[in-house]
Structure 1
Amino acid sequence: MRDAYLIGAGQSDYGSFPGESYRSLFRTAFENARDSVPDGIESEAVDEAVVGTLGVGGRQLGLPGPAVTEHVGLHGIPVTRVENACAASGYSVRQGVQAIRSGMADVVLASGVEIMTDVSGDAVRYWLGVSGETEWERLSGTTFAGVYAQMASRHMQEYGTTREQLSHVAVKNHENGAKNPHAQLGFECSLEDAMDAPTVADPLNLYHCCPTTDGAACVLLASEDVVENYTDDPIRVAGVGAGSDRVGLFQRDTYTAVPASQYAADRAYEMAGYGPDDLDFAEVHDCFAIAELMAYSDLGLCEPEEAGEFVASGKTGRDGEMPVNTSGGLKSKGHPIGATGAGQVVEVFKQLSGEAGERQLDDPQIGLTHNVGGSGGAAVVHVFEKGGAPSAPGSASGRSPRDTGGDAA
């Protein structure tokens, strides 16, 4: 099978935009992605498109893919809509890689879009709730904040995690987001601010929760057969992994991990030939502060009982040994459901291309994205490697691989 390469990526600003539509935000993201391709690309070169969206508010539930791709001039190509809750566009990237690896396309647009701020708070909670377990969780009154609060409470009980450690996630991500011109909440916060915010669902407070967001993100992928037409410094999609689990938290064997993330990570590492110790940075799904702490251990960056200290020690800061969420993460950058996974890839593209501005890391070579749907019913992980040919990969160290089988990507 052919390798797939990341040749361009762009996004709109994330935030609340009463004057914008899902089409206009998508156009901005698409044009930014097209303009980011080092040697340029014509729209006519795109063979296929995949669009991730939940459709918050009910707008264009049928055929949202052609509704946005035709708007930007991508006429006549196959377009697929992907819905996997918050992991929708992470899966759209995976599907784009599959199309290239199978030989059905040479250039694919993988993307996502969401408008969340033009409906009432009750309506937003409804649309978010449909991605949870409907019969026993949502209809009994449980919100996503409530579900993740249960995870946080159990993590505190089992591993001694503290509210202060949860608050360090917010402080770090706001520090990074303040350096990201696309971020919705582009301001810094102090540890005191993050500790003293109003409670949302005990033990989670306002600074432990991401905002609702409008935005779009687009990623351009190319096959090994044509990548040299677009860049002399390609970024290889080294590994792809995806996994699923029971949608309801109450149905699972653990409250302190997301097994779907573990399955996805193992498959991505196996395909890439890299392990967690080989990563230079990661963009992880931090819809709530506890989600980032669980991601550390689910991805093999540390043991579960070490997660709180891992962030509090500064190891996941931009100057730390394992930078996480240099974009600001969902917490500061924002969380436009359908666009989130592709937006994570935008940050990887910028970091590996040396175009991340004030938040640029020192010559990163390998980056990872981790995108979760709902409270863990689905997850997808990508590993990206700077350079056209695989360098000698390190051992997949950090933990023993599970017997998960191969990923079909």
Structure 2
Amino acid sequence: MRDVFVMGVGMIRFGKFPEVWMEELGRQAILGAVKDAGIDPKKLMVAYCGHSHQGRVAGQRALKQAGISGIEVVNVENACAGGSTSFRQAYLSVAGGLYDMALAVGMEKVGGGLLPPNPEDLDGLQGRVLPGHYAMKAVRHMYEYGTTPEQLAMVSVKSHKNASLNPLAQYQESVTLDQVLGSRMVADPLTLLQCCPTGDGAAAAILCSRKEAEQSGRPLIRVAGSVVRSGNFVGAGEDILASPLTRETSQNAYEMASVGPQDVDVCECHDAFTIGEILHYENLGFCPRGEGGRLIQDGATEITGTIPVNPSGGLLSKGHPLGATGIAQVVEIVRQLRGEAEKRQVETPRVGLTHTMGGAIPGLEAGACAVHIFVRD
């Protein structure tokens, strides 16, 4: 397997754009990545397009708007992990020597509001939607480890503060602890400002071989680890706070990259709900089980902390356009490792990690988990 590098990244501001077609969102992100890489788009010979609700041949439609045709295009559906999975496929195509350069793009246009469950999802049809599922996790974490409502809310405060420094975030205003706790209750104890918004957005990344990366003159950001896994079977009596999927996926990625959680300088994780981020601290290995609440309270995950998490604002504030999210995480980590994150720049990071979850399926822990690790060489 060859070394693979990220040569260029691009994304649009996330939000709600009822007047803009999905193809236009994708076009802007793709051309942004092409410009960042400084290449002729004709050098792209394969593209992987991650999305969840965009219908048939979505990638071809977006690439057409970007002036790119006559190449291999693969559309990737993997729920919220669609973008991350498209990145994984692009990585494999370059690592295996099939192509010297590949495009990974994630895009979604879903507006806002709750996404309806699949007709086959009996749990969802009976009311066990994701906010309720995560609320149960929050209540259990509070019961077992003494995690407080204030600690949960601190995640949202941090995310909104970071997003206020990110011109591409959907919500760019800071909030106070009282505002988070006082916002409308969605599923006790999770209030509105503790649940991520859906919306519209697109992000893209161009991956390449070492030769192409060195010729570009850009900082060398190597993809040191890339793992995607499906969820494990679960049954009655399972520990709802355990996440073997995230633990195993991240452990595989750490081993592939020859690093450990203690080496990660900056992380973008799947904070669909505040309790989700706290659990991810634990399951990604940043702290022992049960100590996620204390980690956020101690300021360790702030931009200036020992393990900055979601400096972009995360899903909670940057927004969550499903298929675009995983690539947007890559965009943030690449810019952090290059030193291009401006006001939200983490101090001299060398190792970055992205983590995305996708899909809720009764009987499985989740549909998919993707973890990518990046190193500045």
TM-score (norm 2): 0.95
What aligned pairs does 1:41-190 form with structure 2 within 5 A after superposition? Answer: 41-55=39-53, 59=54, 61-117=55-111, 121=113, 124-126=114-116, 129-130=117-118, 134-190=120-176
CA distance in structure 2 between the aligned counterparts of 1:380 and 1:305, rounded to whole angstroms: 23
Q: State which of 322, 327, 330 in structure 1 corresponds to 2:315.
A: 330
What is the RMSD of the two structures over their aligned residues, measured on CA atoms?
1.6
- 2:263 corresponds to which residue? 278
State the number of aligned residues: 372
Deviation of 1:141 after TM superposition, in Å, equals 2.1
CA distance in structure 1 between the aligned counterparts of 2:155 and 2:106, rounded to whole angstroms: 25
- 2:344 corresponds to which residue? 359
Asked whether 1:224 is paired with 2:210, we answer yes
SS of equivalent residue, structure 2 residue 356: strand
CA distance in structure 2 between the aligned counterparts of 1:85 and 1:252, rounded to whole angstroms: 27
Query: For the Cα contact (< 8 Å) 1:154–1:256, is it kept in 2?
Result: yes
- 1:205 corresponds to which residue? 191
Describe the shift of the 1:63–1:252 C-alpha distance in structure 2 as closer, same or farther (beyond 3 A).
Answer: farther
Deviation of 1:20 after TM superposition, in Å, equals 1.0
Q: State which of 195, 214, 219 in structure 1 corresponds to 2:181.
A: 195
Deviation of 1:15 after TM superposition, in Å, equals 0.5
CA distance in structure 2 between the aligned counterparts of 1:51 and 1:5, rounded to whole angstroms: 18
CA-to-partner distance for each residue in 1:255-298, whole Å, 9 max, x for gaps? Answer: 11322211210111000000000011100000111110111111
CA distance in structure 1 between the aligned counterparts of 2:144 and 2:79, rounded to whole angstroms: 29
Deviation of 1:246 after TM superposition, in Å, equals 4.3
Describe the shift of the 1:232–1:343 C-alpha distance in structure 2 as closer, same or farther (beyond 3 A).
Answer: closer
Deviation of 1:231 after TM superposition, in Å, equals 2.8
The one-letter code sitting in structure 1 at the alignment partner of 2:58 is P
CA distance in structure 2 between the aligned counterparts of 1:323 and 1:316, rounded to whole angstroms: 4
Describe the shift of the 1:251–1:356 C-alpha distance in structure 2 as closer, same or farther (beyond 3 A).
Answer: farther
Deviation of 1:198 after TM superposition, in Å, equals 1.1
SS of equivalent residue, structure 2 residue 206: strand
Q: Percent identity?
A: 41
CA distance in structure 2 between the aligned counterparts of 1:21 and 1:11, rounded to whole angstroms: 15
- 2:294 corresponds to which residue? 309
CA-to-partner distance for each residue in 1:383-406, whole Å, 9 max, x for gaps? Answer: 10001xxxxxxxxxxxxxxxxxxx
Describe the shift of the 1:234–1:285 C-alpha distance in structure 2 as closer, same or farther (beyond 3 A).
Answer: same
Deviation of 1:72 after TM superposition, in Å, equals 1.0
CA distance in structure 1 between the aligned counterparts of 2:35 and 2:172, rounded to whole angstroms: 24
- 1:8 corresponds to which residue? 8
- 2:222 corresponds to which residue? 236
SS of equivalent residue, structure 1 residue 110: strand
The one-letter code sitting in structure 2 at the alignment partner of 1:149 is A
- 2:32 corresponds to which residue? 32
- 1:384 corresponds to which residue? 374
Deviation of 1:250 after TM superposition, in Å, equals 5.8
Describe the shift of the 1:184–1:33 C-alpha distance in structure 2 as closer, same or farther (beyond 3 A).
Answer: same
TM-score (norm 1): 0.88
The one-letter code sitting in structure 1 at the alignment partner of 2:221 is I
Deviation of 1:374 after TM superposition, in Å, equals 2.6
Deviation of 1:225 after TM superposition, in Å, equals 3.2
Query: For the Cα contact (< 8 Å) 1:90–1:380, is it kept in 2?
Result: yes
The one-letter code sitting in structure 1 at the alignment partner of 2:123 is E
Please list every run of 5 or more consecutive structure 1 residues that lacks an aligned counterpart in the other structure: 388-409
Please list every run of 5 or more consecutive structure 2 residues that lacks an aligned counterpart in the other structure: 361-365
CA distance in structure 1 between the aligned counterparts of 2:70 and 2:298, rounded to whole angstroms: 52
Query: For the Cα contact (< 8 Å) 2:11–2:29, is it kept in 1?
Result: yes
Query: For the Cα contact (< 8 Å) 1:260–1:377, is it kept in 2?
Result: no
Query: For the Cα contact (< 8 Å) 2:7–2:218, is it kept in 1?
Result: no
| Higher deviation after alignment, 207-216 or 226-235 | 226-235
The one-letter code sitting in structure 1 at the alignment partner of 2:192 is L
SS of equivalent residue, structure 2 residue 291: helix
Query: For the Cα contact (< 8 Å) 1:242–1:265, is it kept in 2?
Result: no
Asked whether 1:368 is paired with 2:353, we answer yes
Query: For the Cα contact (< 8 Å) 1:283–1:325, is it kept in 2?
Result: yes
Describe the shift of the 1:17–1:135 C-alpha distance in structure 2 as closer, same or farther (beyond 3 A).
Answer: closer
Q: State which of 254, 260, 269 in structure 1 corresponds to 2:245.
A: 260
SS of equivalent residue, structure 2 residue 370: strand
Query: For the Cα contact (< 8 Å) 1:9–1:346, is it kept in 2?
Result: yes
- 1:294 corresponds to which residue? 279
CA distance in structure 2 between the aligned counterparts of 1:290 and 1:315, rounded to whole angstroms: 16
Query: For the Cα contact (< 8 Å) 1:178–1:188, is it kept in 2?
Result: yes
Query: For the Cα contact (< 8 Å) 2:9–2:204, is it kept in 1?
Result: yes
Deviation of 1:135 after TM superposition, in Å, equals 3.6
Describe the shift of the 1:212–1:250 C-alpha distance in structure 2 as closer, same or farther (beyond 3 A).
Answer: farther
CA distance in structure 2 between the aligned counterparts of 1:45 and 1:269, rounded to whole angstroms: 32
